[in-house]
Amino acid sequence: MANILQANCMMCRMRSDIFNTLNESELHRVDDCRVSIKYHQGEIIFKQGSPCHDFVCVTSGLVKLYLEGEGDRRIIIGFARPVDYIFVPGAFSDKRHHFTAVACEESTACLVEVDIIQDLLKTNQEFASSFMTKVSEQAIQLFDQLTSFTQKQMPGRMAEVLICLSQKIYQSNPFITSLSRQDIADMSGMTKESAIRIMKTFKDDGLILAEGNSIEILDFAKLETISRNG
C-alpha cells in the first residue's frame, strides 16, 4: 500500500525543472496542494479509465506507462524516471486517464492537483512554455514507438528496446532490470514467447548476455544495425 511522505517543494532537489519557472508564491501554491507518496513494486499509481485529479512527478524509482487493450493485452508506451513529469492528456479533455501507470520498483512521486497546474499555465507564460516542451517530447517518443511497431520486424523492435533500456532507462551497461520478460515483450509489441526467442537468438549470436535480471549488450554496433534495418 502506498505511503504518504513529507517533503517541501521550496527545498526539494528532486523536483521537475518545469517548476523552476515558478516564483516563490506560485511554488507555495503547488506545495500547499502537493502530496508525496511512496509506492511499492507493482502498485498502481493511476489506472486507465479512472478519474484524473492529479499530475504526477516521479521523484525516485521507475514507473511504466502502458495501454490496456482487449484480452488483457498491454503495450508499454514509456517509462517515467526521476524527475520525469507524467503528462495526462485527459486533464484537458474528459478528466480520465488514458493509460495506466505502475511502479516497476520502489518508487516515490509527488501528486499535484490538476486545477493548480491549469491555473499556472494560464498565468505564467514561461511555465506554460516549459510544460508544452515536455508534452511535445513525450508525444515525439510515442510517435517514434508507433513507427517502430508498424515498420520494423520483431528482431528490429527487440534490438531497439534493448538499446533503449541500456541507454535511456537504466543508463548503464550491463544493467539490472526490474522488468519481467513480459514487460520487455509489451515494450516491443510482441508475445512473451517471441520476445524470449529473439533474446535467445541475440544471446546465441553474441550480441547480448542475459542472465536472470542482468542484461549486457556485447555488440552495440550490430544491435543498432538490426534496429535501424528493422
- Do 7 and 113 lie in a common domain? yes
Residue span of the structural domain in which 79 resides: 3-149
- Do 102 and 184 lie in a common domain? no
- Who's near 92: CB < 8 A, 6+ residues apart? 118
pLDDT digit string, tens, across residues 150-161? 889 999 999 999
Q: Which three cell numbers stand for residue 77?
A: 508506451
pLDDT digit string, tens, across residues 27-58? 999 989 889 999 999 999 999 999 999 999 99
Taking residues 113-133, report their average pLDDT. 93
- Predicted pLDDT of residue 221: 96
pLDDT digit string, tens, across residues 182-217? 999 999 989 999 999 999 999 999 999 999 999 999
Tell me the pLDDT band of 25, cut-offs 50, 70 and 90.
very high
- Do 118 and 170 lie in a common domain? no
- Predicted pLDDT of residue 143: 86
* Domain end point (choices 149, 182, 198): 149
- Do 111 and 20 lie in a common domain? yes
Do β-strands 74-80 and 63-68 pair in parallel, antiparallel, or remain unpaired? antiparallel
Sheet harboring 74-80: ordered strands across?
A: 44-46, 100-103, 63-68, 74-80
- Do 36 and 123 lie in a common domain? yes
Q: Is the pLDDT of residue 89 over 90?
A: no
Ranges 81-90, 172-181, 185-194: which has the least confidence: 81-90
187 SS3 class: helix
CATH code of the domain containing 50: 2.60.120.10
CB distance 181 to 192 below 8 Å: yes
* Domain end point (choices 131, 149, 167): 149
* Domain end point (choices 97, 114, 149): 149
- Do 97 and 57 lie in a common domain? yes
Q: Is 211 exposed, middle or buried (0-12, 13-18, 19+ CB in 10 A)?
A: exposed
- Do 83 and 109 lie in a common domain? yes
- Do 192 and 174 lie in a common domain? yes
83 SS3 class: coil
Taking residues 122-146, report their average pLDDT. 89
Chain Cα centroid distance, residue 127? 22
- Do 145 and 156 lie in a common domain? no
Q: Which three cell numbers stand for residue 199?
A: 533474446
Residue predicted with more confidence, 71 or 20? 20
CATH code of the domain containing 183: 1.10.10.10
Residue with cell 548476455: 209
- Predicted pLDDT of residue 26: 93
What total of structural domains would you count in the chain? 2
- Do 55 and 161 lie in a common domain? no
Nearest residue to 7 (alpha-carbon basis) of 112, 110, 114: 110
Q: Is 79 exposed, middle or buried (0-12, 13-18, 19+ CB in 10 A)?
A: buried
Nearest residue to 48 (alpha-carbon basis) of 86, 3, 1: 86
Ranges 10-19, 112-121, 164-173, 197-206: which has the least confidence: 10-19
Chain Cα centroid distance, residue 91? 18
CB distance 94 to 71 below 8 Å: no
- Do 42 and 139 lie in a common domain? yes
- In whole angstroms, what is the distance from residue 202 CA to residue 162 CA? 11
- Predicted pLDDT of residue 6: 52
- Do 143 and 87 lie in a common domain? yes
